[in-house]
Amino acid sequence: MSLRIMTVYGTRPEAIKVAPVIAAVEADKRFENIVVVTGQHREMLDQVNEIFGIVPDVDLDVFGHKQPLAVTAAKILAGLAPVLEEHRPDAVVVQGDTTTSTAAALAAFYAGIPVVHLEAGLRSGDITSPFPEEANRKITSQIAALHLAPTSESRANLVRESVDPAAIAVTGNTVIDALLATARSEHPFTDAALESAAASGRPILLVTTHRRESWGPAMEGVGRALRRIADAHPEYLVVLPLHRNPVVRDAVLPPLTGAENVVVTEPLAYGEFTRLLGACRIVLTDSGGVQEEAPSLGKPVLVMRENTERPEAVAAGTVKLIGTDEDRIVAEVARLVTDDEHFVSMSTAVNPYGDGAASGRAVAAIAQLLGVGSRLDDFVA
């Protein structure tokens, strides 16, 4: 009888990061794979499932426009309980720090099912930023039976919080598995404006933004900064694949109207986005996943946040924290555009987050937890 591994996820970044783990569980004869999506995201989640060929067994469909976090969490808790009851998994895998992740962990814990926490141990040290993700991640650490830390730094954070070291495996981040797997295929841009942007040979500033703690004046400042950057560096194309959140769109878009060298797109399919990441010159973002992917492609990353729970690439010199002040964003981009030495110093490819084999280590650690195998060696950067 094979053991049942249920993976529960609900947003775009979770989907990208669990996809390689789901594939590895699926390929392993010791396990039966059960895939549950909460539908916290809708289009952005379905887009990733389609690319990785994942057809969920259960969809809780909790999505709601501008839905308060408490409502999303409540729907997940209530929706997952009967699913856990019906399928009786031997372990539940959750990923990261979203509302889906923590609510699903709690539902599994209430049902007496061991929780496996993928991407465990990241800490900014500030409970208010990222909000609510820092708290979500810490809560899940309290109830997880197995902590899959991506790096030795995240392992050290857990040990410092008295997590049993024997319950931690250092796997590398599965986002690098996803990135490398995706890079093997060609990805034509479906948006014609992007295809001509890529063909133009003009340098590209790739921008993404969505963080909840920046909603309001800070994000409006990001929009104004982007317009000033586009006007100050007309040889550049500013490419902005937009998050679907209307709060983000309403804040960022107004100042960009009429700018010749700004290309705004819908959320890009993962393969198209990683192609753009490989083709761009500079990355300006507040995304967690993009902070992990861009350094391995040798792209300088300016992070529009005051802190980060991903300090490894900052230490390596390819990621710089610049906050959300409008003038500072404009100045930091100008420095990378005009100061070649600075640009080169931030452009070395580094791989602190993974080697493409994280999902194999994750599955081996799950097998050990369930008494049907042993662990692989920890990931060393």
Q: In the complex, which residues of this chain contact ligand UD1 (CB under 6 A)?
A: 11-13, 40-44, 65-67, 69, 97-99, 132-133, 210, 212, 243-246
| Residue choice 223, 288, 311, 354 for contact with ligand UDP (CB under 6 A) | 288
Distance of CA 381 to the CA centre of its chain: 19
- CB 127 within 8 Å of CB 356: no
Angle at 232 between CA 308 and CA 234, to 5 degrees: 110
Binding partner of 212, given ligand UDP, ligand UD1, none, CB within 5-8 angstroms per partner class: ligand UD1
Best CA proximity match to 221, nearest among 326, 304, 331, 322: 326
Q: How far is the CB of 225 from ligand UDP (least distance, A)?
A: 18
User: Which residues make beta-bridge pairs with 285?
Assistant: 208, 303
Q: How far is the CB of 266 from ligand UDP (least distance, A)?
A: 8
Binding partner of 66, given ligand UD1, ligand UDP, none, CB within 5-8 angstroms per partner class: ligand UD1
Q: For 247, phi and psi rounded to 5 degrees?
A: -60, -40
| Residue choice 114, 132, 241, 360 for contact with ligand UDP (CB under 6 A) | 241
List binders of ligand UDP among 209-238 (CB under 6 A). Answer: 210
State the alpha helices, DSSP H only, in 43-98.
43-52, 69-87
SS3 content of the chain, % helix, strand, coil (to 5): 50, 15, 40
- CB 265 within 8 Å of CB 208: no
Identity of the residue, 51 or 337, whose beta carbon is nearer to ligand UDP in the bound complex: 51
Calpha distance 11→46 (Å, rounded) = 9
- Fill in the DSSP letter of residue 2: P
Judge whether 187 counts as a catalytic residue: no
Q: Helix or strand or coil: residue 303?
A: strand
Judge whether 212 counts as a catalytic residue: yes
User: Which residues make beta-bridge pairs with 52?
Assistant: none
Best CA proximity match to 24, nearest among 183, 185, 177, 182: 177
Identity of the residue, 89 or 132, whose beta carbon is nearer to ligand UDP in the bound complex: 132
Q: How far is the CB of 44 from ligand UD1 (least distance, A)?
A: 4
| Residue choice 290, 330, 337, 362 for contact with ligand UDP (CB under 6 A) | 290
Binding partner of 33, given ligand UDP, ligand UD1, none, CB within 5-8 angstroms per partner class: none
Judge whether 342 counts as a catalytic residue: no
Binding partner of 124, given ligand UDP, ligand UD1, none, CB within 5-8 angstroms per partner class: none
Amino acid at 365: A
Q: Which of 90, 133, 134, 312 is catalytic?
A: 133
Q: Helix or strand or coil: residue 260?
A: coil
- Fill in the DSSP letter of residue 151: S
Judge whether 243 counts as a catalytic residue: yes
Calpha distance 300→281 (Å, rounded) = 8
Judge whether 97 counts as a catalytic residue: yes
Using CB under 6 A as the binding criterion, the count of chain residues that bind ligand UDP stands at 17
Identity of the residue, 39 or 241, whose beta carbon is nearer to ligand UDP in the bound complex: 241
Tokens of 246: 């209307």
Q: How far is the CB of 267 from ligand UDP (least distance, A)?
A: 4
List binders of ligand UDP among 349-378 (CB under 6 A). Answer: none
| Residue choice 268, 313, 337, 367 for contact with ligand UDP (CB under 6 A) | 268
Identity of the residue, 230 or 283, whose beta carbon is nearer to ligand UD1 in the bound complex: 283
Judge whether 32 counts as a catalytic residue: no
Q: Kindly list the residues in this chain that would bind ligand UDP in the complex (CB under 6 A).
A: 12-13, 16, 175, 208, 210, 241, 267-268, 270, 273-274, 287-290, 293
